[in-house]
Amino acid sequence: MNAVSLAATSGTHVTEDLSKYAMAVRGLTVSYGGKPVVFSVDMSIPTGSMTAIIGPNGAGKSTTLKAALGILKPLSGHVTIFGQPLDQARQRVSYVPQRASVDWDFPTRVIDVVLMGLYRQVGLLKRFSPALRAKALDCLTRVGMEEFATRQIGQLSGGQQQRVFLARALAQDADLYLLDEPFAGVDAATERAIIAVLKDLQARGKTVVAVHHDLATVPAYFDRVFIINTRAIAEGPLDTAFTDRALQEAYGGRLSTNHIEGLAQVS
Amino acid sequence: MFGAEFVPLSLPPLVIGSLAAVACALPGNFLVLRRQALIGDAISHVVLPGIVLAFLVTGSLGTWPMMIGAAAAALVAVALIEAIRRIGGIEPGAAMGVVFTTLFAAGVLLLERSDTSSVHLDVEHALMGSLESLIWLDGTGWGSLFDPEALAYLPPELPRLAITLTIVALLTAIFWRPLKISTFDPGFAQVIGLPTTLIGLGLVSTAAMAAVAAFDAVGSIIVIAMFICPPAAARLMTNRLEIQILWSVLFAVLSATTGYILAGYGPLWLGADNTVSAAGMIATVAGLILGLAALFGPCRNRAGAPLGA
């Protein structure tokens, strides 16, 4: 079941092997109130890569992630995770929502949020073993938040909240990490800590995809880009996809690209 | 007040009031955190026409006709809200407001126009319940608590609410983790495979069950107050959901017992010779507890306050 049949425009069927991709999205269309925000998008994330999803505000970056993960219901489209449908691959996926999408006033402690990442291991009623608790604490240590384990989450700064979310994702021991704007509104130290953790994940063979805003840091942080503005505009390694032309197409005339170091020089 | 009449006259309403309060407060904790607290309010309004119709059809106020009537009313309400929202193109909150108030008014009209004099079902009963009338004449003293014959004549509301509370508490305990995760972070919950829509529906259904069971004994005022006041006050006492639940149970029992005693004896202490509505006093005490928690609770947070406040 690793191959998926795709109906090509000509009407013939092409069989494509999707199992080489950590995530493969085909023909994804999502609309809000009759207006498409993501239109017929294909995305192929090779295993072990680190991809930035970039595009202007409202271009459908977060929507693509959410629809691929079943959080939003797409009009059409097909997604495989390591060649399998999402339902059979959930334990291999870790999702970090936008920090602002949850209520940080929620009455719970830092460590309890990280333990949520271990839910699939304990289910409804099983107790968290000392080993699992130690693991949760270790994940907090990896993001430099171990001292805050028993703090209420509302007492954290934005950067600290983002690190807690990352620690919860680490606790899941996934193979594919999908992060929605992990650097939004965080301090510089947190940004460095997060990118170090993500690069470490990649070094261990994991796959990382992040919705990203800051074009200037794309070359330093990622090795691939996926550029979207409702339609997919470019996807691939930086030297072929992170081009002036693709960025101009995505952002229109609003963007001056000459200050972005590492921009691929493709005429 | 702890004289010979305490067991037959005061103990049953105290226990029934407390059971009803806790049964509503438990799901109320999650409703408040999900900012759906007014659903409790809505449920208690919507069920009224359902209960009246169920009575008119079956001629009885048994548990099952009431539950089915309430459930049918809830379904009609959901369909109406959806229809008004789509046809009118307005936001769901406004559609809910229109539907719930209209259905409640229809329930009141139905009640007034139909002959329900043979049973405890009138407008006042719907609002206030009849806590004071839930007496246990066979309970002649504390010894009756161990007398199976006397226990058989306990007001039926008591075992009914005890069973309801047991079910609500069990559901809360069993589904604790999914409830907590999906309340805090629905997107994450969905990706790890939790059925968030089903969990939300389950929570609202559980709240509805508690509301219907409590409604009969204590009226809709207490139901509305208990869904919101004890959980909201409890939230201001702690920053941990586990402990918040315990505080909410404590506040619910405290409101029910203090409110009942104040209603029955408060006017006497003040020199008057009448009593006031127990349901009204219980809801008032719950509101006072919330007010005190809002002023002095250790875990108040001004994050949501407008700038400069």
Q: What is the pLDDT of residues B84-140, one digit of tens each?
A: 888 888 877 788 888 888 998 888 888 888 776 666 667 777 777 778 888 888 877
Mean pLDDT (chain A, rounded): 90
Q: Residue A115 phi/psi, 5° resolution?
A: -65, -25
Interface test with B, best of A79, A95, A108 (most B CBs within 10 A): A108
Give the closest residue to B29 by CA, choosing from A153, A102, A104, A107: A107
Interface test with B, best of A103, A121, A165 (most B CBs within 10 A): A103
Instruction: Give the whole-angstrom CA distance, residue B211 versus residue B219.
Output: 9
Which of A69, A95, A116 is the closest to B181 by Cβ?
Answer: A116
Percent of chain B with pLDDT over 90: 37
Give the closest residue to B169 by CA, choosing from B231, B245, B238, B64: B245
Which of B187, B192, B301 is the closest to A101 by Cβ?
Answer: B187
Read off the pLDDT of residues B42-61 as tens digits, 9 standing for 90 and up. 877 888 888 888 888 887 77
A154 and B301 in contact by Cβ < 8 A? yes
Question: What are the Cα distances from residue A223, in Å, to A50, A58, A80, A202?
Answer: 6, 24, 22, 11
B185 and A125 in contact by Cβ < 8 A? no
* Block residue for tokens 């629905």: B186
CATH code of the domain made up of B6-293:
1.10.3470.10
Percent of chain B with pLDDT over 70: 94
Give the closest residue to B239 by CA, choosing from A107, A109, A155: A107
Q: Which amino acid is at B234?
A: A
Instruction: Using an 8 Å CB-CB cutoff, list chain B residues near A87.
Output: 193
Domain containing A120 equals 3-250
Instruction: Give the whole-angstrom CA distance, residue B41 versus residue A169.
Output: 37
Instruction: Give the whole-angstrom CA distance, residue B247 versus residue B241.
Output: 10
According to the model, what pLDDT value does residue B92 have? 75
Tokens coding A86 = 């999402």
Does position B304 have pLDDT exceeding 80, yes or no? no
B197 inside 8 A of chain A by CB: no
Interface test with A, best of B185, B191, B241, B242 (most A CBs within 10 A): B191
Determine the residue of chain A that is closest to B181 in CA distance: A116
B240 and A90 in contact by Cβ < 8 A? no
A152 and B240 in contact by Cβ < 8 A? yes
SS3 sequence of B218-275:
HHHHHHHHHHHHHHHHHHCCCCCHHHHHHHHHHHHHHHHHHHHHHHHHHHHHCCCCCC
Total domains present in chain A: 1
Q: Which CATH number covers residue A36?
A: 3.40.50.300
Question: What are the Cα distances from residue B249, in Å, to B52, B68, B246?
Answer: 31, 28, 5
User: Which residue spans within A143-199 are E strands per DSSP?
Assistant: 176-180
B240 and A108 in contact by Cβ < 8 A? yes
Å between B289 CA and nearest CA of chain A: 20
Residues contacting residue A211 through CB under 8 Å, at least 6 positions apart: A52, A53, A54, A61, A62, A65, A179, A180, A181
Does position A217 have pLDDT exceeding 60, yes or no? yes
Residue B112 burial by Cβ neighbours in a 10 Å radius (0-12, 13-18, 19+)? exposed
B187 and A95 in contact by Cβ < 8 A? yes
A34 inside 8 A of chain B by CB: no
Read off the pLDDT of residues A62-114 as tens digits, 9 standing for 90 and up. 999 999 999 999 999 999 999 999 999 999 999 999 999 999 999 999 999 99
Tokens coding B227 = 């869904």
Q: CA A265, A214, A27: angle at the middle one, nearest 5?
A: 75
A102 and B174 in contact by Cβ < 8 A? no
Residue A208, number of CB atoms within 10 A of its CB: 26
According to the model, what pLDDT value does residue A187 have? 93
Give the closest residue to A45 by CA, choosing from A19, A63, A76: A19
Does position A266 have pLDDT exceeding 60, yes or no? no
Sheet architecture: strand order including A50-54: A93-96, A176-180, A207-211, A50-54, A224-229, A231-237
Query: By mean pLDDT, which of A53-62, A178-187, B144-153, B161-170 is the weakest?
Result: B144-153
Tokens coding A188 = 């510089």
B184 and A102 in contact by Cβ < 8 A? yes
Residue B185, number of CB atoms within 10 A of its CB: 23
Q: At what angle do helices B196-235 and B278-296 cross, to 10 degrees?
A: 80
Asked if residues A197 and A166 have their Cβ atoms less than 8 Å apart, the reply is: yes
Does residue A76 lie within any of the structural domains? yes
Instruction: Using an 8 Å CB-CB cutoff, list chain A residues near B180.
Output: 108, 116
Does residue A64 lie within any of the structural domains? yes
According to the model, what pLDDT value does residue A24 have? 96
Residues in chain B: 309
Does residue A259 lie within any of the structural domains? no
Q: Within the 221-240 window of chain A, which residues sit less than 8 Å (CB to CB) from chain B?
A: none
Determine the residue of chain B that is closest to A123 in CA distance: B177
* Block residue for tokens 């006492």: B237
B234 inside 8 A of chain A by CB: no
B239 and A122 in contact by Cβ < 8 A? no
Which of B176, B190, B299 is the closest to A70 by Cβ?
Answer: B190
Residue B309 burial by Cβ neighbours in a 10 Å radius (0-12, 13-18, 19+)? exposed
B177 inside 8 A of chain A by CB: yes
According to the model, what pLDDT value does residue B186 have? 94
Instruction: Give the whole-angstrom CA distance, residue A29 versus residue A79.
Output: 12
A261 inside 8 A of chain B by CB: no
B188 inside 8 A of chain A by CB: yes
Read off the pLDDT of residues B245-296 as tens digits, 9 standing for 90 and up. 999 999 999 999 999 999 988 888 888 777 788 888 999 999 999 999 999 9
Instruction: Give the whole-angstrom CA distance, residue B141 versus residue B226.
Output: 30
Which of A71, A119, A124 is the closest to B174 by Cβ?
Answer: A124
B191 inside 8 A of chain A by CB: yes
Å between B15 CA and nearest CA of chain A: 30
A vs B, Cβ pairs < 8 A, gives 77
Q: Which amino acid is at A51?
A: T
Which of B176, B194, B240 is the closest to A107 by Cβ?
Answer: B240
Question: What are the Cα distances from residue A75, in Å, to A227, B22, B35, B149, B214?
Answer: 21, 43, 29, 64, 43
Q: What is the ipTM of this complex?
A: 0.89
Pseudo-torsion of CA A176, A180, A183, A186, nearest 10°?
Answer: -120
